[in-house]
Amino acid sequence: MGNGMVLGARVRLLAGALLLAILAFAAAGCGGSKGGTTQQSNEAPDAGPTPTPTPTPSPSPSPGPTPSPSPSPSPSPSPSPSPTPTFGGAGPWPADNVTYGASDGLRETPVVGASTDESQDLWAATPQALYVMRPGDKAFRRYDAADGLHLASNPERYCRNGWIAPGAYCPDSDTSYGAAVDRGISEIVGGGPNEVFVGYWGDESGVGDVTDGARHTGKVDRVRLQADGTLQVDRFDFESIDHGGQYWHNRTVYRLVYDHFAHPHTLYVGTNHGVNLMLPDKFRHAVAGEWFDLANQEYMGDHLHARVCWHAPCDNTESNQRMGDWHGLAVDAKGDLWHGGKWTAGWIQWNASPLQWIYEGGTAAMVGWGDPYYGPGSGSRPVFEPPQEGDPVNVSAVSVAPDGKVWFASGIFPGCSPGAANVEARCYGIASWDKAGGFTYWDPGQLGSPEYHVQDLVALPDGRLVVATASSGLAVFDPATGKKTSVRAGSGLPDDRVQRLELDTMVSPPALHVSTATGFATLRKLP
């Protein structure tokens, strides 16, 4: 445990004019291309409040022949959760640190996520199952495909790509199915009262359009816990809205974040391709005779993202674009979204309309970094400084501190290093960004991490930063004093192999949920 340090982080500021690339890509028609990168600028992506534009949506591609009416009537929209409770106070869970594992009812490993909802139900997930412990319970209850989760053995049925009621008729030629691939659950996040969202692994190998047989794989389940302990499960089948049902890029879910405060009940989904804004309380299925995309437009903003291009500045073509693998999402105090992925990062302003939100690309309501970028020290940096534009930066996490500083981690691949011969396997440590000073780069060791691969990070309300590693537990760093401490297996964690961090600020002190390879911990007291 170090007690102080000289903050020797190297600050790289661009000489001359500071460029800011405003580049967003409203993903429909992205053609499955990839990209991302960023640049130093004194103009913040969050350059003060920006009036929400009223974009003029570009024409949608023709959907081809008018689809036949939905073959079955849709049920009425699910009732919204009960009113949002008042936040604050210690909450129903212990004020001390607690670890959870097999003795508490968790039957599989690893734990890929742990989270609380607005009723303070405590949720956890392994790749094979979802678990919940309600306040007052002594053990977790387990749920899987038999309880309605859309794991591989329980696919949802679609007719002409729209939802169809169980048992309703649809010709075999028009029937398709959607569920997780065998890898199962990838991520969870707590939502409204008695509500959790479950993200799945999908099949990304296809072309990403309506002809792709894997177009319905992966995605998200909205799960609502009923009074009798059963689940109500609704599947969100992502498709690029307002584009004729032609594009189905977003499948694997890498990160889920839920806004409880600024724009309550907004869900963001980081996927293999783009980022979705979701308004789950407005979810409904299309009614009989209604084009399914019209119902989706009411609650599903699919999708938007920053992008860069392969070893050259972007032009009007799509073949060399790089975007996707959005492992890092964070909501700031204004309720706007920061996102970081394999190739770049950026900022997107919230919009009450999912349809308007997907058209914010190219406006003042979205900023992306990394294009044009001409190598280290020149152009618009994709947060970190890879050899060329379009080379990966592998952002693994994003978090916004109380002072507005944005922190980025690089480290999608265990064992990565900045000097790896294969640029795909490089990671670049940690970066912080603020409007006044631009980017500051940190070796993870400066923050107390004994390894370069950063699995996740979270900024705490007191200004400290928690850094999660793949095999060395947690490092807790105070930027104000330089103090760094560690939390390891046997002293607060069930295992040093951290999978995910999630911070519940609905209670005070906040609860840091740390998912690991053999269980999870809820930390209320950090050294």
**pLDDT tens digits, 245-290:** 999 999 999 999 999 999 999 999 999 999 999 999 999 999 989 9
Asked whether the beta carbons of 268 and 257 are under 8 A apart, the reply is: yes
Quickly count: other Cβ atoms within 10 Å of residue 290's Cβ.
16
d(CA 294, CA 298): 7
From residue 212, alpha-carbon distances to 204, 208, 215, 473 in Å are 10, 6, 5, 40
> What is the average pLDDT across 408-436?
92
Q: Residue 405: pLDDT band by 50, 70, 90 thresholds?
A: very high
User: Minimal CA–CA distance to 515: which of 455, 462, 465?
Assistant: 455
Cα 513-261-81 angle, rounded to 5 deg = 85
Dig out the tokens for 15 from the structure.
């000489």
Residue 296 parent element (H or E): helix 292-296
- Is the pLDDT reported for residue 9 higher than 80? no
d(CA 407, CA 428): 13
Beta bridge partners of residue 500, listed in sequence order: 515
Residue 293 parent element (H or E): helix 292-296
Phi, psi of 294 (to 5 degrees): -65, -40
What residues contact residue 108 under an 8 Å CB cut-off, 6+ apart? 126, 127, 128, 129
DSSP state of 252: S
**pLDDT tens digits, 453-491:** 999 999 999 999 999 999 999 999 999 999 999 999 999
Instruction: Give a three-class secondary structure readout of 306-358.
Output: CCEECCCCCCCCCCCEECCCCCEEEECCCCCEEEECCCCEEEECCCCCHHHHC
From residue 341, alpha-carbon distances to 204, 275, 365, 397 in Å are 16, 10, 19, 8
User: Minimal CA–CA distance to 27: which of 201, 276, 347?
Assistant: 276
Intra-chain end-to-end CA distance of the chain, in Å:
10
- Is the pLDDT reported for residue 5 higher than 80? no
Residue 287, helix vs strand vs coil: coil
> What's CA 424's distance to the chain center, in Å?
21
Question: Looking at 75-194, which runs of residues are DSSP E strands?
Answer: 98-100, 113-116, 122-126, 129-133, 141-143, 156-159, 162-163, 175-178, 185-190
If one compares 243 and 7, the residue with the highest pLDDT of the two is 243
pLDDT at 81 (0 to 100):
52
Average pLDDT over the chain reads 87
Half-sphere exposure of 154 (CA within 13 A, CB side): 17
Instruction: Provide the whole-model pTM.
Output: 0.87
User: Minimal CA–CA distance to 308: which of 236, 399, 369, 245?
Assistant: 369
